Chain A
């Protein structure tokens, strides 16, 4: 992997973030409602409204507003929440931390289950195990998070009463209870990922097991274990890295829904609250932070892929 490749990827991520900021700003700023009216209420005087507009910079041309906003963002200033009057940044980053914890556990659970499931299905192709994994993954990719969450709560919290249905306890406060509160959200978020990734691992591995070099390895008299783990998996898992990175998009979407359902104060929930209360700076900052997280995850995946796969030669 050449330094030029890394430089190119960094240039690309900068462009990505620029486009994202433009879209986020464009979508949120062309609000049909007047932000000043929203802030002060319908009965505010014209003078008060004008004062607020000036303070928020709403009377400047759009491009100036954009540059002003972007300038702030670059310096870590995401503006002031219209709802709470507090700076947006610190609250959102705190929420992001909670969401990342949820995402991390979900990814770990996904890797722990999706890889073995996919491998077993590929090796036992056409047998019962393959069918079972196939059916599970079909159901998994077809259940929206709110349905999964509903069913899990119904069974595990309501009926069996094993787990708390909603709420959040910081791990630093009470580790055991904190974990217990995370179980249902993590299960919900990871189900769709497990389903998708195990299908991908299976199909990649099935393809790899049909290649000439796997046949050559078998005809060299190598054991099944060597053929599978040394020759097969390495090649099958490489493309899976990219798929996992792309799935982080689903994951972030899932995080939004799951946090809303389980009353988990992460960035997704903040975003929903912000959208519902039309808190402009919070919506902009929340969307930008989520998209940035996704872009960085993809960037890391690309670098990891290029590092692991020596065949790729980049200009």
Chain B
């Protein structure tokens, strides 16, 4: 197998006012024809910097050393004109989010055809005909129509297929895939991966597949390289690295990957106990009739967030809610915390809650919510001390202190140093901020905590520690969780039961123990198929 892309002892530094920061340190990699090298790392590991370095897309402040070669071409020494001829022609690239990587004001076909015109010297007409054939090849039905559509007229999956078609358009020798499925929902992502595998086998291109997701890389790659703080810490065949990781960081990363068979929660809620929350035929509608539509006697568009959802949560139970974006998971969370008006029945601890007006102090104390983005959920102009003092002031028990002592205790409970009380949110890392949000939720000693995608903005290893903290808090306080996520494997680790939502409907409520066989609804089964459980390390 001939080596296509060869990176040898490559260093990359960025100039900053305080000196140079190292982004990549002695990176050595090579990819042969027909091979897929998976590059795995967390945010800030330098994996994207490497992609820019290969594409020769570096800022002025970059300083480099070492070599990057495409076959016998030295890319570092290449002139701008040569690079222009190589990009898109010999090295293609597929980007993370198709909704931002496509120009919103140009038709999809134009953005594909221009590459063919530029690199293969086709006329406009030839390029459009060829483009249509390409779109058919990446599995788009009605390719001629798709060519004329604008990005906003296509779905995420369709757009990513266009991007992939563009990357493969000039039969490049090498393609860089930069997290190509991260912005897509799981089922679409699975189809894109199938397409990738198909095209990869057909063209024999050398692929660099960049991802934060170890499980995903284990499916698509032939070899894998793990990058941490700019260094490749481990590299080898997928089976070998996964089965017997030699580097400590790789081991930690592998251990952090959620595995459904690795249960983290041992408690079981008492099935005979009185339910803590009962939701009966709860619906949420958004929007109102536009004035003009009403005037013209037309039916306004009322968007339905939840359609007659019914479920119950036992005391101390962890109920997982899964579904793709827009399925109504967060809408339900907002309805339960009084952030959305709702219709239908809600009972808490046997007490009926007819609407937001019935959510009194006792209810507010007992039901807490933690949001997805800690950046947005912590007020940037308040110190951690002020943020944590509010629930104490509102709901503190008579015996419980409210001063620095109590705030320090709250911070310690979420394993943060007491000294963090004097900091502002922007002085904390993402994981630390989320811990503060957790501390705030637990300050009132609630009986139900709603976790709305609270780990999806975090790296795998940080996610693992946050989950561990939540499990620990649940064991100590017996709190019930409504754990909302799109990550099926994660929720199977901790939930007792799982509710599956699809386009506003609750389609299935299933015991985790019964999975995967117990899934009855077709959507649940396709979800399960789309995210196979990652291979377990034998170590």
Contacts of A310 in B (CB 8 A): 105, 150, 152
Q: Is the CB of B105 within 8 A of A235?
A: yes
Stretch of A3-11, A40-48, A114-122 lying at the B interface: A3-11
Q: Are A11 and B292 interface neighbours, CB within 8 A?
A: yes
Q: How far is the CB of A306 from chain B (nearest CB, A)?
A: 13
Report yes or no: A311 in contact with B57, Cβ–Cβ below 8 A. no
Residue of A nearest to B119 (CB): A221
A-B contact count (CB 8 A): 78
Are the C-beta atoms of A216 and B95 separated by less than 8 Å? Answer: yes
Q: Is there contact, CB below 8 Å, between A211 and B115? A: no
In the complex, chain B residues whose CB is within 8 Å of the CB of A216? 93, 95, 101-103, 163
CB-CB contacts below 8 Å: B81-123 with A? 83-89, 93, 95, 97, 100-106, 114-115, 118-119
| Distance of A235 Cα from B103 Cα, bound (Å) | 9
Please, which residues of chain A bring their CB within 8 A of the CB of B101?
Answer: 212-213, 215-216
Would B118 and A222 count as touching, CB distance under 8 A?
yes
* B537 close to A (CB within 8 Å): no
- Contacts A220-B114, A221-B87; is A315 near B301 (CB within 8 Å)? yes
A311 to B105, CA, bound (A): 8
Given A4-B292, A213-B103, A231-B103, A220:B57 Cβ within 8 A: no
Contact of B87 with A234 in the complex, beta carbons under 8 Å: no
Residues of chain B lying within 8 A (CB to CB) of residue A223:
84, 118
Inside 8 A of A8's CB, which chain B residues have their CB?
A: 292
Q: Do B87 and A220 touch (CB < 8 A)?
A: yes
**Contact among A219, A220, A311 with B104 in the assembled complex (CB-CB below 8 Å):** A311
Interface size on A, residues (CB 8 A): 26
Smallest CB separation, B292 vs chain A (Å): 5
Q: B290 on the interface (CB 8 Å rule)?
A: yes
Chain A residues with CB below 8 A from B152, complex form:
310-311
Contact indicator B89/A235 (Cβ below 8 Å): no
Q: Are A215 and B57 in contact (CB under 8 A)?
A: yes
Cβ-based interface call for A217 (8 A):
yes
Residue B55 lies at the interface, judged by CB distance under 8 Å to chain A: yes
Q: Is A83 an interface residue (CB 8 A)?
A: no
Closest chain B CB from A168 CB (angstroms): 43
The interface residues of chain B lying within 8 Å CB-to-CB of A215 are 57, 101
- In the complex the two chains form, is A211's CB within 8 Å of B100's CB? yes
A16 sits at the interface (CB 8 A):
no
Closest chain A residue, CB of each to CB of B95 = A216
Tell me which of A221, A310, A315 has the highest count of chain B C-beta atoms within 10 A of its own C-beta.
Answer: A221
Residues of A within 8 A of B150 (CB): 310-311
Q: Which residue of A lies closest to B290 (CB)?
A: A315
Q: Give Cα A234 to B106, complex, Å.
A: 9
| A221 in contact with B105 (CB, 8 Å) | no
State in angstroms the CA–CA spacing of A8 and B296 once bound together. 11
- Other A-B contacts than A212-B97, A212-B100, A215-B101, 7 sampled, CB-CB below 8 A, are A213-B101, A219-B55, A220-B88, A221-B83, A221-B115, A226-B118, A310-B152
Name 8 A/B residue pairs within 8 A (Cβ), A-sorted: A4-B292, A216-B103, A221-B119, A230-B114, A234-B105, A310-B105, A310-B150, A311-B150
